[in-house]
């Protein structure tokens, strides 16, 4: 496994978490 793969996976996870929290804020406010 390459480090780049894990780096991309981490960025993707962070982006999904950020988008999810933004959507949650929009829905509940």
Q: What residue segments make up the domains of the chain, in order of their start?
A: 1-28
Predicted confidence band at 29 (pLDDT cuts at 50, 70, 90)? confident
Which pLDDT value is given to residue 2? Answer: 84
Range 2-29 average pLDDT: 93
Q: Is the pLDDT of residue 1 over 70?
A: no
- Measured CA to CA, the distance from residue 12 to residue 28 in angstroms comes to 24
Q: Using the predicted structure, report yes or no on whether residue 18 has a pLDDT greater than 90.
A: yes
28 is written with which tokens? 């509940």
Q: Which long-range contacts (CB under 8 A, 24 or more apart) does 3-7 make?
A: none
Residue 10 has a pLDDT of: 94
- Mean pLDDT across the stretch 1-8? 88
The tokens of 15 are what?
Answer: 């982006």
């Amino acid at each position: 496994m390459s480090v780049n793969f894990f780096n991309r996976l981490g960025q993707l996870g962070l982006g999904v978490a950020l988008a999810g929290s933004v959507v949650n804020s929009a829905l509940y406010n």
